[in-house]
Chains A and B, each alone.
Chain A
Amino acid sequence: MTMDARLVRDPINTSALLARVSRPSNGAVLLFVGVVRDVNDGRAVSGIEYSAYEPMAARELGDIAREAGKRFSLEDIAIEHRVGELALEEASIGIAVAHPHRAEAYEASRWIIEEVKRRVPIWKREHYADGTREWVDPTRAAAPART
C-alpha cells in the first residue's frame, strides 16, 4: 500500500511515481501530469513560479490522498506537487493512482486534481513573454474557469 503525497523542489520523475503505485493486484495504473502551458488568458507565458504555505500544503495533499483512498477504495496513490521556478512543459503536478479496475482509478484521479485546485495553499506567479509577472487569481478569471 502506498499513500504518498509531497511537495518537491526537483523535477517530478513520473516513471518513479508510476512505479510507486504499481503492484500485481492493480490492473489499472493511471498518471495525470499537469504541465506549464505557454498561454494563459490570451497572454504568452514564459514560465511559472510556484510557492506554497509548505507545512499546510503538504498536510492537505496527504489528507486528499487519504480521502481519495477511502472514497474510491484505492490503496495506491502517489502525488507530487512542485514548488519553485518552472519552465514551459515542466510538470507542476504528478498524480499516480492504481486500482484493480479502471473506473475507480479514473474517478479518483479526477477527484484528486480538482481537490488540489480547490484547497491546497499553493500559488503561482506567471512570467510573461513581455517581461512582466503576476500572481494568478483563479477566482477572477474573465473566461469560465479553465485552469
Chain B
Amino acid sequence: MSVTVLLFASYADALGTSSLRLDLEDGSTVRQLLGRLRERAGAHALPPEPMVAVNERYARGELVLAAGDTVAIIPPVAGG
C-alpha cells in the first residue's frame, strides 16, 4: 500500500523534501513507517520518537496505517 509522508520545518530541510510517497506492506504501523523513513539520507535529524499525525490527528507508534493515509512527521512545535 502507498501512503503520503509530509515533512515540515527542520525535518523537511534535513531530508530535502516536504512530501514523499512510501510503499509499505499492508498492516504497517506508524513505527514501521518511521523505520523506513530512517533509511533515507538526512533522516538522522529525526529524534527516536518524533510526533506524528495521521490524517491530521496526532497518532501513536502502534497505529496501523491504511492505504492512502497522510502521515505528517511533526517537529517540536513552536507556535504562539
Q: How many A-B pairs fall under 8 Å by CB?
A: 73
* A123-147, CB < 8 A from B: 123-125, 135-140, 147
Given A51-B8, A135-B9, A135-B13: A124 touches B78 (CB 8 Å cut-off): yes
Q: Which residues in A have their C-beta under 8 angstroms from that of B13? A: 135
Residue of B nearest to A7 (CB): B79
Q: Which residues in A have their C-beta under 8 angstroms from that of B53? A: 53, 56, 121
Instruction: Contact check, B80 vs A116: say whether CB atoms are below 8 A apart.
Output: yes
Interface centre among A57, A121, A147 (most CB of B within 10 A): A121
* Interface residue B33 (Cβ < 8 Å from any Cβ of A): no
Instruction: Contact check, B80 vs A135: say whether CB atoms are below 8 A apart.
Output: no
* B22-77, CB < 8 A from A: 53, 56-58, 72, 74-77
* Interface residue B6 (Cβ < 8 Å from any Cβ of A): yes
* Interface residue B17 (Cβ < 8 Å from any Cβ of A): no
Interface centre among A34, A53, A93 (most CB of B within 10 A): A53
Instruction: Contact check, A117 vs B80: say whether CB atoms are below 8 A apart.
Output: yes
* A9-60, CB < 8 A from B: 34, 50-53, 55-57, 59
Instruction: Contact check, B10 vs A93: say whether CB atoms are below 8 A apart.
Output: no
Instruction: Contact check, B9 vs A125: say whether CB atoms are below 8 A apart.
Output: yes
Residue of B nearest to A137 (CB): B76
Given A53-B53, A56-B53: A123 touches B77 (CB 8 Å cut-off): yes
Q: How large is the interface on B (under 10, 10 to 19, 20 to 34, 35 or more residues)?
A: 10 to 19
Q: How far is the CB of B57 from chain A (nearest CB, A)?
A: 8
Instruction: Contact check, B56 vs A117: say whether CB atoms are below 8 A apart.
Output: no
Residue of B nearest to A34 (CB): B80
Residue of B nearest to A125 (CB): B9
Given A59-B56, A123-B8: A117 touches B75 (CB 8 Å cut-off): no
Instruction: Contact check, A122 vs B77: say whether CB atoms are below 8 A apart.
Output: yes
Residue of B nearest to A113 (CB): B80
Instruction: Contact check, A56 vs B80: say whether CB atoms are below 8 A apart.
Output: no
Additional pairs, 7, CB under 8 Å, beyond known A119-B77, A135-B13: A51-B9, A122-B78, A123-B75, A135-B9, A136-B78, A137-B75, A139-B76
